Amino acid sequence: MITPTESEDNQIVKAALMEILQQKNRLTFAEFMELALYHPKGGYYNNRSSLIGARGDFYTAPQLTPVFGELIALQLKEMWERLGQPSNFAIVEMGAGQGTLAGDILLYLKANAPQLWENLVYRIVEISPILAEAQAHRIGVLPDGADLLKHVAWVGWDEIASDSVIGCFLSNELVDAFPVHLVSVSNGKLQEIYLTQNEAGELVEETGELSTPALETYFKTLGLDIASYEEDYRTEVNLHASPWLSRVAEKLQRGYILTIDYGYEAKSRFHPRRMSGTLQCYYRHQVSHNPYLNLGNQDITAHVDFSTLLNTGVALGLTTPGLISQAEFLGGLGIGEHFVQMSASTNSPNEVLAQREALLRLISPNEMGNFKVLLQVKNAPLEPTLSGWSACV
């Protein structure tokens, strides 16, 4: 039996969930996750804007230090140069959080790339109206915020024409929040975990046949026989990642797709010893593995299967210089120089210590340094190697 904590429960999400269960009898976990995160009124990403940072539930790299955004901006500037300095270079950020990364990138490019800045369009694809509003506010209060906003446009996917973008599609911790199916091994067979109600009207899990053959195909494509794993092995399957990448590639005429997230390649992501999968929930900087608590008030994520993104990219004709760690990526872009600059800083010792700690969290293998950075390229040169991928040389 699953009992959400009533004190922190989002009644909008709970009511919507129970209404659907009365009609459909049971839901896939992907349907539940979609509801909990993206319900128009009560979903996690739609019911409040302060999700990230000290007052939110978790930190992302841009909240730690503006250096992250500055180094991303440096890489974007280099991409523009590799493409021949096109006048219609576009940056398309997908899922921009509270706008911190966008703001830091815009500030850097305005100050350090005047020729690029003159014609730059920074597009944000954001499905949450409340987050789009927070992004506009965050950018608007920065120095020269009004000028920065002149270069920003919030767009829907349908507003981006096919084969129209010359530039870079960028995402940071987006794919991990796509709804996932839960599957398990039962009696030597791959089955799916559903949510339903018991006679008392309580939310419970039950196991049944797969809701779609795509779940079995998913593992066959990866060359994995999950059904042979130990009894009660449990994991998540993200069926949204491949279509998402296909949509991005279809919009891109010439340039790059930069995906930053936590996850593994398939053999590690679906290792037989990873018996409970990777599902994680974040609420007030506390991590749990129970997605049924704090409905609509906690984030729900699952680690990304980067092998599927790589394989999908190959099928779409994309090329890649390699999948690397965030530590390697930022190292190639010169994060080490920022540590050196701290020795000459006039800030107080406490401020320098805080800045150093933030940089270390970006590259530590026990923190965000273990995140993966995937670059996929369409109709753009791979040589000379981009600085962020110098570790691959």
Give 282-313 pLDDT, tens digit per residue: 887 688 889 988 888 889 999 999 999 999 99
Per the listing, tokens 């000459």 go with: 344
**pLDDT higher than 50, residue 7:** no
> What tens digit of pLDDT does each residue of 140-152 get?
999 999 999 999 9
- Mean pLDDT score, 194-199: 88
Report how far residue 192's alpha carbon sits from residue 288's, in angstroms, rounded to the nearest whole number. 22
Report how far residue 220's alpha carbon sits from residue 138's, in angstroms, rounded to the nearest whole number. 44
Cross-strand bridge partners of residue 58: 52
For residue 186, with 0-12 CB atoms within 10 Å meaning exposed, 13-18 middle and 19 or more buried, which class applies? middle
- Mean pLDDT score, 230-254: 98
**pLDDT higher than 60, residue 321:** yes
Q: Rounded to the nearest 5 degrees, what angle is found at the Cα of 358, between the Cα atoms of 279 and 132?
A: 60
Task: Give the Å distances, CA to CA, from 221 to 171, 184, 308.
Answer: 25, 18, 9
Lowest mean pLDDT among 9-13, 130-134, 219-223: 9-13
**pLDDT higher than 60, residue 241:** yes
The rounded Cα 233 to chain-centroid distance in angstroms is 25
Lowest mean pLDDT among 201-205, 217-221, 266-270: 201-205
Q: Determine the pLDDT at residue 375.
A: 98
Per the listing, tokens 């020795």 go with: 343
Task: Give the Å distances, CA to CA, from 320 to 47, 247, 313.
Answer: 37, 18, 8
Edge to edge, what strands does the sheet with 286-288 contain?
286-288, 280-283, 299-301
Sequence-distant (≥ 6) Cβ neighbours of residue 62 within 8 angstroms: 68, 69, 97, 100, 101, 104, 172
Whether the CB-CB separation of 278 and 320 falls below 8 Å is answered with no
- Mean pLDDT score, 66-89: 97
Per the listing, tokens 């539930």 go with: 57
**pLDDT higher than 60, residue 5:** no
Alpha carbons within 13 angstroms on the beta-carbon side of residue 16 total: 20
Q: Determine the pLDDT at residue 25.
A: 85
Res. 57 pLDDT band, cuts 50 70 90:
low
Residue 224, token pair as written in the block: 């994995």
- Mean pLDDT score, 13-34: 88
Whether the CB-CB separation of 294 and 230 falls below 8 Å is answered with no
Whether the CB-CB separation of 282 and 57 falls below 8 Å is answered with yes
Q: Determine the pLDDT at residue 341.
A: 84
Cross-strand bridge partners of residue 261: 372
What does the buried/exposed string (b/e) look like for 341-366 if buried means 16 or more CB atoms within 10 Å of the residue's CB?
Answer: eeeeeeeeeeeeeebeebbbbbbeee
Alpha helices (H) in the chain, listed in sequence order = 11-24, 29-38, 61-64, 66-82, 100-112, 114-119, 129-140, 145-149, 214-222, 241-251, 266-269, 306-315, 326-332, 335-342, 349-363
Backbone angles phi, psi at 262, to 5 degrees: -100, 140
Report how far residue 99's alpha carbon sits from residue 123's, in angstroms, rounded to the nearest whole number. 12
Amino acid occupying residue 261: D
Lowest mean pLDDT among 162-171, 347-356, 362-371: 347-356
Amino acid occupying residue 377: V
Q: Please give the mean pLDDT across all residues of the chain.
A: 91
Cross-strand bridge partners of residue 118: none
Q: Determine the pLDDT at residue 3.
A: 52
